[in-house]
Amino acid sequence: MRDLKKTYGSGCKPEPAGKKKTYGSGYKPEPAGKKKTYGSGCKPEPAEENIKLFSEEDTINLAKAIAPELKVGDVVALYGELGTGKTFLTQWICRFLGVKEYTSSPSYVLMNEYIGKFPICHVDLYRLDSIDEVLELGIYEIFEKNLTIIEWAEKAKKLLPKNTIHIWFEFENSHRNVKVQSYKKLRLGESLPD
Ligand SMILES: Nc1ncnc2c1ncn2[C@@H]1O[C@H](COP(=O)(O)OP(=O)(O)OP(=O)(O)O)[C@@H](O)[C@H]1O
Ligand SMILES: [Mg+2]
Protein backbone atom coordinates (compact mmCIF):
# COMPACT_ATOMS: atom_id res chain seq x y z
CA MET A 1 0.00 0.00 0.00
CA ARG A 2 1.14 3.50 -0.69
CA ASP A 3 1.94 5.58 2.33
CA LEU A 4 -1.40 7.21 2.67
CA LYS A 5 -2.94 8.45 5.83
CA LYS A 6 -6.61 9.04 5.51
CA THR A 7 -8.41 11.15 8.03
CA TYR A 8 -12.03 11.86 7.69
CA GLY A 9 -14.07 14.43 9.47
CA SER A 10 -16.70 13.55 11.95
CA GLY A 11 -19.08 12.93 9.07
CA CYS A 12 -22.70 13.70 9.21
CA LYS A 13 -25.14 10.88 9.40
CA PRO A 14 -28.69 12.10 9.40
CA GLU A 15 -31.36 9.72 10.63
CA PRO A 16 -33.00 7.88 7.74
CA ALA A 17 -36.37 9.35 6.90
CA GLY A 18 -39.25 7.64 8.59
CA LYS A 19 -37.08 5.93 11.15
CA LYS A 20 -39.17 5.47 14.18
CA LYS A 21 -37.62 6.70 17.35
CA THR A 22 -38.14 4.49 20.33
CA TYR A 23 -37.29 5.46 23.83
CA GLY A 24 -36.58 3.01 26.53
CA SER A 25 -38.41 3.11 29.78
CA GLY A 26 -35.65 5.31 31.11
CA TYR A 27 -36.67 8.18 28.84
CA LYS A 28 -36.88 11.31 30.88
CA PRO A 29 -38.65 14.31 29.47
CA GLU A 30 -36.87 17.64 29.93
CA PRO A 31 -38.06 19.42 33.06
CA ALA A 32 -40.43 22.24 32.24
CA GLY A 33 -38.79 25.61 32.00
CA LYS A 34 -35.37 24.27 31.14
CA LYS A 35 -34.04 26.27 28.26
CA LYS A 36 -33.41 24.16 25.22
CA THR A 37 -30.47 25.01 23.01
CA TYR A 38 -30.15 23.53 19.58
CA GLY A 39 -26.93 23.27 17.60
CA SER A 40 -26.72 24.81 14.17
CA GLY A 41 -27.73 21.47 12.72
CA CYS A 42 -25.69 19.09 10.71
CA LYS A 43 -22.31 20.57 9.85
CA PRO A 44 -20.20 18.28 7.71
CA GLU A 45 -16.45 18.55 8.17
CA PRO A 46 -14.08 18.56 5.19
CA ALA A 47 -12.08 15.36 4.79
CA GLU A 48 -8.30 15.54 4.79
CA GLU A 49 -5.95 13.20 3.01
CA ASN A 50 -2.17 13.17 3.09
CA ILE A 51 -0.32 11.71 0.14
CA LYS A 52 3.32 11.32 -0.82
CA LEU A 53 4.20 11.90 -4.46
CA PHE A 54 7.41 10.23 -5.60
CA SER A 55 7.26 11.02 -9.30
CA GLU A 56 5.49 13.07 -11.94
CA GLU A 57 3.36 10.00 -12.56
CA ASP A 58 2.02 10.17 -9.01
CA THR A 59 1.04 13.80 -9.58
CA ILE A 60 -0.67 12.81 -12.83
CA ASN A 61 -2.60 10.13 -10.94
CA LEU A 62 -3.65 12.70 -8.36
CA ALA A 63 -4.98 14.91 -11.17
CA LYS A 64 -6.79 11.89 -12.61
CA ALA A 65 -8.52 11.24 -9.30
CA ILE A 66 -9.58 14.83 -8.73
CA ALA A 67 -10.64 15.87 -12.25
CA PRO A 68 -13.85 13.81 -12.58
CA GLU A 69 -15.20 15.30 -9.34
CA LEU A 70 -14.90 18.91 -10.53
CA LYS A 71 -17.48 21.15 -12.15
CA VAL A 72 -18.19 24.80 -12.91
CA GLY A 73 -18.36 26.79 -9.66
CA ASP A 74 -15.73 24.70 -7.92
CA VAL A 75 -12.52 26.32 -6.73
CA VAL A 76 -9.27 24.43 -6.26
CA ALA A 77 -6.76 26.37 -4.16
CA LEU A 78 -3.10 25.38 -4.51
CA TYR A 79 -0.41 26.26 -1.99
CA GLY A 80 3.31 25.48 -1.89
CA GLU A 81 6.68 26.95 -2.66
CA LEU A 82 8.17 27.43 -6.12
CA GLY A 83 8.48 24.28 -8.16
CA THR A 84 6.42 22.00 -5.94
CA GLY A 85 4.12 21.04 -8.83
CA LYS A 86 1.09 23.34 -8.70
CA THR A 87 1.14 24.16 -12.42
CA PHE A 88 1.94 20.57 -13.31
CA LEU A 89 -1.12 19.33 -11.39
CA THR A 90 -3.29 22.04 -12.97
CA GLN A 91 -2.09 21.10 -16.44
CA TRP A 92 -3.07 17.48 -15.91
CA ILE A 93 -6.43 18.29 -14.34
CA CYS A 94 -7.13 20.35 -17.47
CA ARG A 95 -6.08 17.48 -19.71
CA PHE A 96 -8.30 15.01 -17.87
CA LEU A 97 -11.15 17.48 -18.35
CA GLY A 98 -10.68 17.48 -22.10
CA VAL A 99 -8.44 20.51 -22.66
CA LYS A 100 -6.56 19.79 -25.87
CA GLU A 101 -4.15 22.69 -25.99
CA TYR A 102 -2.65 23.56 -22.67
CA THR A 103 -0.29 26.52 -22.77
CA SER A 104 2.10 26.42 -19.85
CA SER A 105 1.52 29.39 -17.59
CA PRO A 106 4.55 31.40 -16.57
CA SER A 107 4.03 33.25 -13.32
CA TYR A 108 3.81 36.65 -15.00
CA VAL A 109 0.58 35.56 -16.70
CA LEU A 110 -2.17 36.09 -14.20
CA MET A 111 -4.84 34.04 -15.82
CA ASN A 112 -5.34 31.41 -18.49
CA GLU A 113 -8.73 30.28 -19.69
CA TYR A 114 -9.36 26.90 -21.21
CA ILE A 115 -12.33 25.12 -22.66
CA GLY A 116 -12.53 21.44 -21.95
CA LYS A 117 -15.74 19.71 -20.91
CA PHE A 118 -16.52 23.15 -19.46
CA PRO A 119 -14.68 26.48 -18.93
CA ILE A 120 -11.65 26.31 -16.69
CA CYS A 121 -9.77 29.33 -15.39
CA HIS A 122 -6.22 28.90 -14.11
CA VAL A 123 -5.21 31.87 -11.97
CA ASP A 124 -1.67 32.45 -10.71
CA LEU A 125 -1.51 35.04 -7.95
CA TYR A 126 2.26 34.91 -7.46
CA ARG A 127 2.79 38.49 -8.63
CA LEU A 128 -0.17 40.05 -6.86
CA ASP A 129 0.32 41.77 -3.54
CA SER A 130 -3.10 42.70 -2.24
CA ILE A 131 -6.63 41.42 -1.98
CA ASP A 132 -7.75 44.50 -3.93
CA GLU A 133 -5.69 43.39 -6.89
CA VAL A 134 -7.32 39.97 -6.74
CA LEU A 135 -10.76 41.58 -6.59
CA GLU A 136 -9.88 43.70 -9.63
CA LEU A 137 -9.50 40.50 -11.62
CA GLY A 138 -13.24 40.02 -11.14
CA ILE A 139 -12.58 36.92 -9.11
CA TYR A 140 -16.20 36.31 -8.03
CA GLU A 141 -17.38 36.27 -11.63
CA ILE A 142 -14.51 33.94 -12.50
CA PHE A 143 -15.59 31.58 -9.69
CA GLU A 144 -19.15 31.60 -10.94
CA LYS A 145 -18.45 30.87 -14.60
CA ASN A 146 -15.55 28.44 -14.43
CA LEU A 147 -13.88 25.69 -12.61
CA THR A 148 -11.20 27.89 -11.03
CA ILE A 149 -7.77 26.59 -10.10
CA ILE A 150 -5.65 29.10 -8.17
CA GLU A 151 -1.92 28.98 -7.55
CA TRP A 152 -0.59 30.94 -4.56
CA ALA A 153 -4.14 30.84 -3.22
CA GLU A 154 -3.05 32.15 0.18
CA LYS A 155 -3.14 35.59 -1.45
CA ALA A 156 -6.89 35.24 -1.95
CA LYS A 157 -7.67 33.22 1.15
CA LYS A 158 -10.38 35.57 2.43
CA LEU A 159 -12.19 35.45 -0.90
CA LEU A 160 -12.34 31.70 -1.35
CA PRO A 161 -15.74 29.98 -1.13
CA LYS A 162 -16.36 27.70 1.82
CA ASN A 163 -16.40 24.54 -0.27
CA THR A 164 -12.99 25.24 -1.85
CA ILE A 165 -10.78 22.20 -2.34
CA HIS A 166 -7.45 23.09 -0.72
CA ILE A 167 -4.24 21.36 -1.80
CA TRP A 168 -0.91 22.02 -0.05
CA PHE A 169 2.40 20.88 -1.57
CA GLU A 170 5.75 20.64 0.18
CA PHE A 171 9.11 19.12 -0.62
CA GLU A 172 10.40 16.41 1.65
CA ASN A 173 13.64 14.57 0.86
CA SER A 174 13.06 12.73 -2.40
CA HIS A 175 9.32 13.26 -2.60
CA ARG A 176 6.56 15.78 -2.25
CA ASN A 177 4.02 15.74 0.57
CA VAL A 178 0.55 16.75 -0.43
CA LYS A 179 -2.39 17.48 1.83
CA VAL A 180 -5.84 17.66 0.29
CA GLN A 181 -8.79 19.09 2.16
CA SER A 182 -12.19 18.72 0.56
CA TYR A 183 -15.88 18.47 1.29
CA LYS A 184 -16.16 16.14 -1.69
CA LYS A 185 -15.12 12.56 -1.30
CA LEU A 186 -12.23 12.30 -3.74
CA ARG A 187 -11.00 8.69 -3.28
CA LEU A 188 -7.42 9.75 -3.84
CA GLY A 189 -5.81 6.69 -2.33
CA GLU A 190 -7.70 4.39 -4.63
CA SER A 191 -6.25 6.11 -7.70
CA LEU A 192 -2.62 5.77 -6.74
CA PRO A 193 -0.73 2.60 -7.59
CA ASP A 194 0.68 0.45 -4.79
N1 LIG B 1 5.62 14.47 -8.09
C2 LIG B 1 6.60 15.01 -8.81
N3 LIG B 1 7.83 14.46 -8.80
C4 LIG B 1 8.84 15.00 -9.52
N5 LIG B 1 8.72 16.10 -10.29
C6 LIG B 1 7.52 16.70 -10.33
C7 LIG B 1 6.40 16.19 -9.60
N8 LIG B 1 5.34 17.00 -9.82
C9 LIG B 1 5.79 17.97 -10.65
N10 LIG B 1 7.09 17.79 -10.97
C11 LIG B 1 7.94 18.66 -11.80
O12 LIG B 1 8.22 19.83 -11.04
C13 LIG B 1 8.47 20.90 -11.92
C14 LIG B 1 7.97 22.19 -11.36
O15 LIG B 1 6.57 22.09 -11.24
P16 LIG B 1 5.59 23.33 -11.41
O17 LIG B 1 6.05 24.28 -12.44
O18 LIG B 1 4.24 22.73 -11.57
O19 LIG B 1 5.74 24.03 -9.99
P20 LIG B 1 4.86 25.21 -9.38
O21 LIG B 1 4.48 24.77 -8.02
O22 LIG B 1 3.77 25.59 -10.31
O23 LIG B 1 5.91 26.36 -9.27
P24 LIG B 1 5.65 27.95 -9.28
O25 LIG B 1 5.30 28.33 -7.89
O26 LIG B 1 6.98 28.50 -9.70
O27 LIG B 1 4.58 28.26 -10.26
C28 LIG B 1 7.83 20.53 -13.24
O29 LIG B 1 8.84 20.56 -14.20
C30 LIG B 1 7.29 19.13 -13.06
O31 LIG B 1 7.67 18.33 -14.15
MG1 LIG C 1 3.25 27.41 -11.22
Residue 15 included in any domain:
no
pLDDT at 188: 82
- Please tell me the total count of domains within the chain: 1
Residue 71 included in any domain:
yes
Write the pLDDT tens digit of every residue in 68-88. Answer: 999 999 999 999 999 999 999
170 lines ligand 1 (CB under 6 A): no
Residues of the chain where predicted confidence (pLDDT) is lower than 70: 1-41, 104-108, 189-194
Residue 12 included in any domain:
no
Residue 38 included in any domain:
no
Residue 140 φ then ψ, to 5°: -65, -40
Query: Please, which residues bridge with residue 147 across strands?
Result: 120
Residue 62 included in any domain:
yes
Mutating to test ligand 1, I would choose from 3, 52, 56, 124 the residue with most ligand atoms within 8 A of its C-beta, which is: 56
pLDDT at 72: 98
Specify the CATH number for the domain of residue 86.
3.40.50.300
Residue 86 included in any domain:
yes
Residue 47 included in any domain:
no
Residue 69 included in any domain:
yes
What's the rounded Cα separation, in Å, for the pair 54 and 174?
A: 7
105 lines ligand 1 (CB under 6 A): no
Q: Which ligand is nearest to the CA of 167?
A: 1
Domain residues for 178? 52-183
